[in-house]
């Protein structure tokens, strides 16, 4: 039995689609969903549903009863009072369930930066989550992407109306990227394979050597209109997310993350590409996802 968290989220939904479409169709699938109505009718016909949040120990225990594999993702919650507390509130029940429910393998979504990132807000909290999970002794694969291409989708309106997108990164330094489709495909492959053991990071780094300015050029070419990058600082980024309703703690975490990425460079050129696990290039993603979002 495979348990999937965040089955209606950006990554979890794609993981679930891969599992449901698996050719052998022999794996039982159970999902934890706050709102099962958001699951497609096709999916609801093929999976068991446990209603609730996977931060709830009772819900997680029910979902993991009889299960041996788990897809794990802590959802971003901009209203959280504490970044570290938010990740801890999800991870503590998971560690208890691993110890008592027989879950043998966990595939979790994490980030690049292990051993490098310091005081990096949400990135540091995610890496601490990995350490807590691994301390249980469970077989674990931490999926480690850099900057997600899908982050640009939230700026589709600005790209369309003003020809600009905003990033809090250096304009001329390589920014490694990954498409969520590659995270989901790797997660599903691991979940369907009951033979791997041990604990490892799985870097998911796309094939491009693009700076943020290069990304703006690619976007311009794909959209056939000029699009420019506007670099913002961590203070401006924090102010923006506060205006959109984030808590002070969450906004400060994002500001700290931005400063860490700038100063420590763990999403930069020193990180090699991993085309075998993250084959989607930025131009292809722009054609497939960003162009329809902007022009559709």
31-71: pLDDT as tens digits: 999 999 999 988 988 999 999 999 999 999 999 999 999 99
Give the bridge partners for 169, in sequence order.
none
- Compare 294 and 168 and report the one with higher pLDDT: 294
Q: Give the mean pLDDT of 250-264.
A: 94
- Compare 11 and 102 and report the one with higher pLDDT: 11
* Among the listed residues 39, 12, 6, the one whose alpha carbon sits nearest the alpha carbon of residue 188: 12
> In this predicted structure, what is the pLDDT of residue 100?
77
Q: Domain ranges in the chain?
A: 2-145+178-203
Q: Give the mean pLDDT of 217-235.
A: 96
End-to-end CA gap in the chain: 39
> Alpha-carbon distance 94 to 69, whole Å?
12
Distances (CA, A) of 128 to 43, 88, 188: 33, 9, 23
- Backbone φ and ψ for 256, nearest 5 degrees, come out as -65, -40
Distances (CA, A) of 190 to 29, 138, 279, 288: 14, 14, 17, 25
| pTM, to two decimals | 0.95
**pLDDT tens, position by position, 82-98:** 999 999 999 999 999 99
Instruction: Check whether 23 has a pLDDT greater than 70.
Output: no
pLDDT band at 170 (very low <50, low <70, confident <90, very high): confident
Q: Which CATH architecture has domain 2-145+178-203?
A: 3-Layer(aba) Sandwich (3.40)
Average pLDDT value for the chain: 94
């Amino acid at each position: 039995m495979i348990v999937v968290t965040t089955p209606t989220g950006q990554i979890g939904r794609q993981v679930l689609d891969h599992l449901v479409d698996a050719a052998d169709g022999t794996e039982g699938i159970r999902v934890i969903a706050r709102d099962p109505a958001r699951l497609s009718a096709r999916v609801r016909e093929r999976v068991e549903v446990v209603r609730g949040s996977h931060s709830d120990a009772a819900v997680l225990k029910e979902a993991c009863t009889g299960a041996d594999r788990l897809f794990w993702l802590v959802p971003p919650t901009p209203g959280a009072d504490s970044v570290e507390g938010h990740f801890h509130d999800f991870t503590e029940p998971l560690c208890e369930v691993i110890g008592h429910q027989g879950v043998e393998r966990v595939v979790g979504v994490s980030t690049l930066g292990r051993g490098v990132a310091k005081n990096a807000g949400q990135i540091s909290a995610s890496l601490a989550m990995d350490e807590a999970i691994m301390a249980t002794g469970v077989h674990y694969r931490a999926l480690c992407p850099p900057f997600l291409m899908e982050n640009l989708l939230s700026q589709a309106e600005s790209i369309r109306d003003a020809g600009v997108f905003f990033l809090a990164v250096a304009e001329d330094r390589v920014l490694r990227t990954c498409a969520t489709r590659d995270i989901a495909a790797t997660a599903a492959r691991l979940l369907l394979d009951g033979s791997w053991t041990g604990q490892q990071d799985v870097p998911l780094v796309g094939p491009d050597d693009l700076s943020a300015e290069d990304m703006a050029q690619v976007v311009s070419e794909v959209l056939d209109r000029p699009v420019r990058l506007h670099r913002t600082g961590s203070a401006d980024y924090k102010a923006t997310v506060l205006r959109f309703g984030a808590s002070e703690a969450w906004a400060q975490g994002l500001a700290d993350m931005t400063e860490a990425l700038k100063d420590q460079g763990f999403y930069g050129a020193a990180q090699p590409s991993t085309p075998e696990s993250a084959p989607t290039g930025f131009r292809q993603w722009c054609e497939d996802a960003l162009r329809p979002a902007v022009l559709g």
